[in-house]
Structure 1
Amino acid sequence: MKKIRVLGVIFLAAVSGLAAAGPRIEHWVAPSGARVYFVENRALPMLDVQVDFPAGSAGDPAGKPGLASLTHALLDMGVEGLDENGIADRLADLGAQISGGVEMDRASVSLRTLSAPATRGSALAVFRAVLSTPQFPADVFEREKARKVASLKEALTRPDTIASRAFWAALYPGHAYGRSATPESIAAIARDDLARFYRTHYGAGGAVVTIVGDVGRGEAEALARELTAQLPAGAVPPPAGAPGPAAGGEQRLPHPAAQAHVLIGLPALKRGDPDFFALQVGNYTLGGGGFVSRLMREVREKRGFAYSVYSAFLPMAQEGPFQIGLQTRKEQAGEALRVVREVLAGFLAEGPDEAELLAAKQYLAGSFPLRLDSNRKLLDNVAVIGFYGLPLDYLDTYVANVEKVTAAEVRAAFARHVRQENLATVVVGGE
């Protein structure tokens, strides 16, 4: 136990140093064409690897929303030479983990393993098979498809799911970001669709490999080369196009729940937009700063309309949403909505005052090292830099970019990205 505590102290000290200066990110292109991003971290004998592909749900073909998610789910449920139980047993014996997820723009597959060469080599062999030789077994495919249909039917009874789906559809009508899976679209997917989607979207040319941990540059180069050598070849699928102009409007959807779910927003921010830091600083004051935000003060503390209310920007490859969300008793949904709109209008007109601006910058700059205090967090941040093509010094300059934001820049950025006449509003369960 004492040894574990000592290792923990050493690890925290090491990653704190990385956070203060920003990690040294090395970048190159593997022979396969995959882009590679590497951070050497010798604090603990651990290795984290993530491979991102342009295989998010925005790549679902028309008529088959849910295909990206189902394809990703079956990657580690049967590979050349191993069934799903064999994969699970092999990883358990090694103490390794394979995980991942599907977002709108990307699908991620991650490995965590000890860095000792023998253990690492065996774990990477399984990981390579998952990436390069998924078999999509017919019986597993039918089982997982049935599970997804059942899960989706249950989710579609919940007001939060109904509100989220209606919100994205309202913000992105006719666009890939606005499509959602249905029980019918999942049922229409065939096993051949998974194999086709894999060949199109999991190619080496679109792959981004992120490596963080206890290996050197030469080992990282060999690792990336081996992981991506057998990935499908072919053209990188085109990204989703830009969304059309936000139409705004309001939808009220009935639901018997006692609480009304309210979402307000519009397409607002792409990754890499120069207004990102001004919007982040301003949003802390508006609704991103918890109890110190204006929305929380006016909606919860003064009026008791909601336990929680928030605002957030979700940058993506194309303009991701700015959104405000809350839950409130259905009989007071209209009044809560009125207050939210008034607070937003006031902020758009005034921006933050000097005290609010200082508090926002102090929090965002002061808490930034906590975003880099583990291998996993480093991996997440570097993977975003790699996939979205952000500058390699993005983490080094983050605090300086926050600290130089002015109140005038916040007002100007919000004026460019958040126009009240274009806001879409969804209320599920309100009277």
Structure 2
Amino acid sequence: MLSLKNKTLLSAVLAGASVLFGASAQAAIPIEHWALPNGAKIYLAATNALPIVDVQIDFDAGSRRDPPAQAGLAGVTAGMVEKGIRASRRPAAGPPQSGTAPSGGSEDTSVLSLGAYDAAMDENALGEAWADLGANFDASAGSDRMSFSLRTLSQPALLDKAVRLASREIGEPAFPEDVWKREREQLNASIREANTKPATIAGRAFSQAAYGTHPYGQDTTEATLAQIDVATMRQRYEQLILPCRAKLSIVGAVTRAQAEAIATTLLSRLPMATEPGGCTALPPVPQVAALAAAKDERLPFDSAQAHVWIGQPGYPRSDPDHFALTLGNYVLGGGGFVSRLTEEVREKRGLAYSVYSSFSPGLHAGAFRIGFQTRPDQAAEAVKVAREVLAKFVAEGPTAVELKAAKDNLIGGFPLLLDSNRKLLGNVSNIAWNDLPLDYLDTWTARMNAVTAADIKAAFARKLQPERMVTVVVGGKP
């Protein structure tokens, strides 16, 4: 078996990751971009800092495309991808990626001998196979995208096997009905438990008040899970998970030719688009509607702390104000103990231990939020102070001293966002998903430095309306 040897090797490699990436993170790694004949788009950042390959494949198949009555469909579909693969209905996928055939024959006693590549595997066999390779594969779904990620050592035989196994999980998921029934019961139990917590109630109330019927406001419930079966999952998967809809981000010790072979194999077991010329455009998802008036929800809950959220829909990631809003939010409430909200709510008045603000831009206007916990009897005062801080910041913007401190912190910390394969993969996939310029990482510091206090003031005035926000307080007596 290879598992102990490969796990030990991978652990040793990762232990030295921060040291090896320390110097290279200072200079952005060039990103190459091209498309495969099947329409898939590849983004490659080749680096030999570590003998590791990380891959992320993104599809426009997140929860924003869930029918309201089946909210949660994207997430459970992604989860079920990892619960087993059916017997292959086609030949094993493509040639080896590195030019070296996977080691098989009498000396290969692992789960992944060559003969296993087309056999059905349940979730236990899959787990053993990935452990045997010392590699990781994950499937997940967020509000916008469904993602598949692969991490493996770049050793040729291991890389070849990991890519071929990942291609089967992506292209031939079994969606076993008995496993879904078990998973649904576990999810229902988790939902029931979460519904006893004030944080869950506050988050749901905020999302529904801020987004209404938009998919960003949908909530997974026992009722919506009851409307989902494996046939629905298969149908959704076959419609949305197609090679022509894929964006692949690849980081690590591979050449462009190897990256193209990896991408080709990973997608080789998916059905090709049947439409002439490739994939047809997916139906548009409605844009988020602006709030017409303030909404104030006070929900009683027997808890020691009241949970407070204040906010509204913010902005999509494509908005040109992104840099100004990111920098301004650091001053307002994103900078931890050096933010205005912390100074006014925590330091001066002791109304909360921590308070923050954040933007969550997506394909649509992701939420702007101010969040904190406070004693129920202090909630009204804390909300008043937080609103006043926000209104003043939107009206006046940051001071010169605040702006410089924010720039020093964010720009000084930027190399830490690139100091590992996984962090670099996150940045490359962000560029791919949001169609950002390939030199985005190279120009990030200059663009952040170019933001002025006037830019921040203008951007916040365009995006936020303090007088028309949602306020949710969960806690206290009726």
Shorter-chain TM-score above 0.5: yes
Instruction: Summarize the Cα distance change of 1:47–1:251 in structure 2 as closer, same or farther, 3 Å threshold.
Output: same
1:90 is aligned to 2:124: no
Amino acid aligned to 1:165: R
Match of 1:272 in 2: 318
Is the partner of 1:312 in helix, strand or coil? strand
Confirm or deny: 8 A CA contact 1:36 1:224 kept in the other structure: yes
2:187 matches 1:182: no
Opposite residue 27 of structure 1, the aligned amino acid is: H
Which range moved further: 202-211 or 338-347? 202-211
* Conserved? CA contact 1:26–1:39, under 8 Å: yes
Kept after mapping to 2: 8 A contact 1:32/1:228: no
8 Å Cα contact 1:171-1:266 kept in structure 2: yes
1:35 corresponding residue in structure 2:
41
CA distance in 1, matches of 2:333, 2:83: 41
2: distance between equivalents of 1:317 and 1:6? 38
**Cα deviation 1:156-189 (Å, max 9, x = unaligned):** 1111111111111111111111111111110121
Contact 1:203–1:236, Cα closer than 8 Å, also in 2: no
Distance 1:324 1:176, change over 3 A: same
1:292 paired with 2:331, answer: no
Check if 1:238 corresponds to 2:283: yes
288-297 or 202-211, which deviates more? 202-211
In structure 1, stretches of 5+ residues that fail to align are none
Structure 1 residue 238: Cα displacement: 3.2
Work out the CA distance in 2 between the residues paired with 1:4 and 1:151: 33
The DSSP-based 3-state class of the residue aligned with 2:460 is: helix
- Is the alpha carbon distance of 1:416 and 1:161 closer, same or farther for their aligned partners in structure 2, counting shifts above 3 Å? same
Per the alignment, in what secondary structure is the counterpart of residue 21 of structure 1? coil
Deviations 1:197-256 (A, max 9, x none): 111221212211111011111100111111113323444533522111213311111211
Question: What is the aligned residue count?
Answer: 429
Map residues 69-80 of structure 1 onto 2, 5 A cutoff: 69-80=75-86
Tell me if structure 2 keeps the 8 A contact 1:200–1:237. Answer: no
Please tell me whether residue 207 in structure 1 is matched to residue 253 in structure 2.
no
CA distance in 1, matches of 2:19, 2:44: 20
Measured in 1, the distance between the counterparts of 2:13 and 2:170 equals 32
Q: Which string of whole-angstrom CA distances, capped at 9 and with x for unpartnered residues, describes residues 104-139 of structure 1?
A: 101211111111110011111111111100010111
TM-score w.r.t. the length of structure 1 is 0.96
Task: Specify the SS of the correspondent of 1:352.
Answer: coil
TM-score by length of 2: 0.87
Q: 1:4, 1:64 → 2: CA distance? A: 40
Please say which of residues 226-235 and 404-413 is displaced more in the overlay: 226-235
Q: Which residue identity is paired with 1:240?
A: V
Structure 2 CA distance for partners of 1:232 and 1:62, relative to 1, 3 Å: farther
Assess if the C-alpha contact under 8 Å between 2:306 and 2:475 holds in 1.
Answer: yes
SS at match of 1:15: helix
What one-letter code is carried by the residue in structure 1 that aligns with 2:373?
Q
Contact 1:288–1:312 (Cα < 8 Å) also in 2 = yes
- The corresponding residue for 1:46 is 52
Q: CA deviation at 1:99?
A: 2.0
Identity of aligned residues (%): 48
Conservation of the 8 A alpha-carbon contact between 2:309 and 2:370: yes
In the aligned structure 2, how far is the partner of 1:136 from the partner of 1:9? 36
CA apart distance, 1:5: 11
What is the CA–CA distance in structure 2 between the aligned matches of 1:39 and 1:281, rounded to whole Å?
27
RMSD across aligned positions (CA)? 1.8
Question: 1:136-285 counterparts in 2 under 5 A?
Answer: 136-234=175-273, 235-247=280-292, 248-285=294-331
Q: Which structure is larger by alpha-carbon Rg, 1 or 2?
A: 2
Residue 11 of structure 1: CA displacement? 4.5
User: 2:73 matched to which residue of 1?
Assistant: 67
